[in-house]
Amino acid sequence: MQTTPQAGTTKVPAPGRRSRKKTASTPTGTDRIPKPSQGWYRVPGTDLKLRRVTTILSTGFPKPQLVFWAANLTAQDAFANIPRLVAASLNPADREEAYDWLRKGHIRKKDERAEIGGAVHDVIEAHVLGQPIPESFLTDEEIAPFVENFLRFVTEWEIEFEASEMVVGNLTDGWAGTLDYLFRSAPIARLLAVPANTLFVGDTKTGGELDEKGVYPEAGAQMSAYRQAEVAWLPSRSQVPMPKVHDTGIVLHLRPEGFRVMPLKCGDDVYAVFRNAQAIAEFQRVLSKSVVGEALALPATTEERAA
């Protein structure tokens, strides 16, 4: 039995249903899907908490390139606003406001990218569901080029989506996340010399430039986790086994000026690195807070005690 593609659903055959008495405390339908909250996914109806994949990656992976990116962005903002900054420096209140604006440039940029990335994911999900793409995206000068290039990707690479925005998890290793999509593509399969019906895990990145970096190795670690998921949650059903996907994942590097189809390793060796990052993230969360003790002091001498 196969399901019709829906957000968070997959065509993978669902396991046989077990009859179970429903109670008020037993979540059903969409309420069964774990939802992210403060770095965790909480599994409804249980006491189980699964660490969020993106939280593991952000805490457990070093990102030295972000330091240079933020520094370059601050320098660009400063040179582009020299008259304003000079004027602000003459007034203590204005100086504090300008300083705060300058140091938060990377946050503003991340928020802008997040807004575009969220809109792109909405477009993809609407396409997978067979729903019309919202008119607001098609007429938005900033979003429309992303939409056009995404649709080109789907057509030119013969993409057949199997799932979108699906929550998956590994109960044994203690994590969960929401993968972008699962899909099949005959052209990609031919280029990778694998069967045409091979299922791939996919992710979309909208940062950087097409002639510069915009796809990083951490994306392979992220997809390696999704590949190792034990279960997936469907809106209309209980949890089902995670389908088997190939050990090469595909990142769609989507930009207004075009797109790139990037293969990334996401096999067992990459997953081992993800698990190491998970251990580091857990160290940062718990053990690191008790590693550094109080400064030691020599005991007072007899003379000091007498005094």
Q: Please list the alpha-helical segments (H only) found in 130-217.
A: 135-139, 144-156, 186-191
What's the chain's Rg over C-alpha atoms? 24
CATH number at residue 52: 3.90.320
More confident residue, 42 or 198: 198
Average pLDDT estimate for 69-95 = 83
What band does 8 get if pLDDT is binned at 50, 70 and 90?
low
| pLDDT confidence bin for 22, thresholds 50/70/90 | very low
Q: What pLDDT digit, counting tens, does each position of 128-160 carry?
A: 878 888 888 888 888 899 989 999 999 999 999
Average pLDDT, the chain: 84
Instruction: Say what the pLDDT of residue 306 is.
Output: 67
More confident residue, 24 or 34: 34
**pLDDT of 279:** 96
Q: Residue 267, class by beta-carbon neighbours within 10 Å (0-12 exposed, 13-18 middle, 19+ buried)?
A: middle
Query: Does 36 reside within a domain?
Result: yes
Of the candidates 264, 260, 270, which has an alpha carbon nearest to the alpha carbon of residue 192? Answer: 264
If pLDDT is split at 50, 70 and 90, which confidence band does 55 have? very high
pLDDT tens digits, 273-283: 999 999 999 99
The 3-state DSSP class for residue 299 equals coil
Domain that holds residue 161: 29-61+136-282
Are the beta carbons of 24 and 189 closer than 8 angstroms?
no
**Range 107-126 average pLDDT:** 76
Residue 22 within a domain: no
Q: Indicate the pairing of strand 248-255 with strand 200-205.
A: parallel
pLDDT at 53: 97
Instruction: Let me know if residue 242 belongs to a domain.
Output: yes
pLDDT in tens, 178-200: 999 999 999 999 999 999 999 99
User: What is the number of structural domains in the chain?
Assistant: 1
Please check whether residue 106 lies inside any domain of the structure. Answer: no
Residue 6 lies in a domain: no
* Within a domain: 155: yes
| pLDDT reported for residue 81 | 87
- Does 72 reside within a domain? no
Residue found by looking up tokens 């469907």 in the block: 234
In a domain, 295, yes or no: no
Q: Say if residue 269's pLDDT is above 80.
A: yes
pLDDT at 65: 66
What is residue 305's predicted lDDT score, i.e. its pLDDT?
Answer: 67
Q: Kindly tell me if the per-residue pLDDT of 223 is higher than 80.
A: yes
- Amino acid identity of residue 56, one-letter, is I
Whole-model pTM? 0.78
The CA distance from 143 to 56, in Å, is: 30
